[in-house]
Amino acid sequence: MALLLKTMANKYAYAMREMNDKRTEHWFLIDSPIPTIFLLACYLLFVFEIGPNYMKNRKPFNIDKILIAFNAVQVVICLYTWIYLTPYIFVGDFTCQVIDYSPESTPIAEMAYVYYWTKILDLFDTVFFILRKKNNQVSFLHVYHHSIMVAYVWYGVKYVAGGQLIFIGVINSFVHVVMYMYYLLTAYDAEYKKSVWWKKHITQLQLVQFGAIAIWIFLPMLSYDCKFPKTISMVLFPQVLTITCLFADFYYKTYIKKRPVKITENKEKLDANQNIAENATPNKSKLLNVCNTNI
């Protein structure tokens, strides 16, 4: 048992000190996975226990001003990340973009670090839902997606900040610009919530995003000579497919499956109202017959 623990400790030390990206090893929260694990544990504890229990007998908080500021900050950061990183996805062979660990590529690693912090900020979406008692929006998909993104991006900054993974930051930042712009508008004026079509297309955009990421991540596995770590592709590809399936299921249940039900319900209500009207209003021929009989 002692030998097993010693072996595990040596492997952990090797992974933390030898395999890591030297550009990012001393950055805050990146040196060890423990702070990120602790952060996610606190997030899950608040989401499933502390938050709901605290709000159980309280009215929803009015945090519109906080939401406006938060969403505006997210739009600015994601827009900057998207604009900054976009040119780098066209450098070299897009089917196999290797990671440059040289000091000259530190700006790319720094942007990956900024992207990591945007994923941490995303966790506040759930916190705001709970404080506003929008518990129906705290779904498994929502919590799983937010949690797993923090974990995966930490790993990316720690070991593989750059290369083929830049594309993920680019397309995801663009989608978040659109998404947080919508959140900003709805926080500023609730009338924008009536724009259901916009919400629907944001989900469609997310599905396109995951499809593009899956293709991009799969490409290095097609080339034997590609120096991008294939193990990264092999780990990320199933995860992207899982997220895609979850979002597709959400899209189907929200925008496709419910639509016929609503149409049927409306038709039934219309038929019911028509029957009531017909029964309440005497038929013209019946009135004539009654009149003739009386005469």
Residues 73 and 211 in one domain: yes
Residues 110 and 245 in one domain: yes
pLDDT at position 293 is 40
Retrieve residue 129's tokens.
Answer: 């839902």
Inside any domain, residue 143: yes
Residues 148 and 280 in one domain: no
pLDDT in tens, 108-145: 999 999 999 999 999 999 999 999 999 888 999 999 99
142 assigned to active site: no
Inside any domain, residue 2: no
Residues 131 and 182 in one domain: yes
115-139 burial, b at 16+ Cβ within 10 Å, e below that, comes to: bbebbbebbbbbebbbbbeeeeebe
Residues 186 and 157 in one domain: yes
Helices vs strands, H then E, count in the chain = 11, 0
Residues 27 and 44 in one domain: yes
Residues 113 and 172 in one domain: yes
Contact 44, 130 (CB under 8 A): no
CA distances from 268 to 209, 256, 258, 263, 265 (A): 39, 20, 15, 9, 5
Task: Please report which confidence band the pLDDT of residue 262 belongs to, taking 50, 70 and 90 as the band edges.
Answer: very low
Mean pLDDT of the residues in the chain = 84
Residues 106 and 132 in one domain: yes
Inside any domain, residue 86: yes
Contact residues for 141 (Cβ-Cβ < 8 A; gap 6+)? 246, 247, 249, 250
Inside any domain, residue 103: yes
Stronger pLDDT, 15 or 213, i.e. the higher one = 213
Stronger pLDDT, 273 or 109, i.e. the higher one = 109
Indicate the number of domains in the chain: 2
Task: Please report which confidence band the pLDDT of residue 92 belongs to, taking 50, 70 and 90 as the band edges.
Answer: confident
Retrieve residue 41's tokens.
Answer: 């544990």
Catalytic residue among 145, 146, 176, 201: 145
Inside any domain, residue 27: yes
Stronger pLDDT, 2 or 228, i.e. the higher one = 228
Residues 46 and 181 in one domain: yes
Total-model pTM: 0.82
pLDDT at position 195 is 62
**Which residue range forms the structural domain that includes residue 170?**
22-255
Q: Is the pLDDT of residue 266 over 80?
A: no
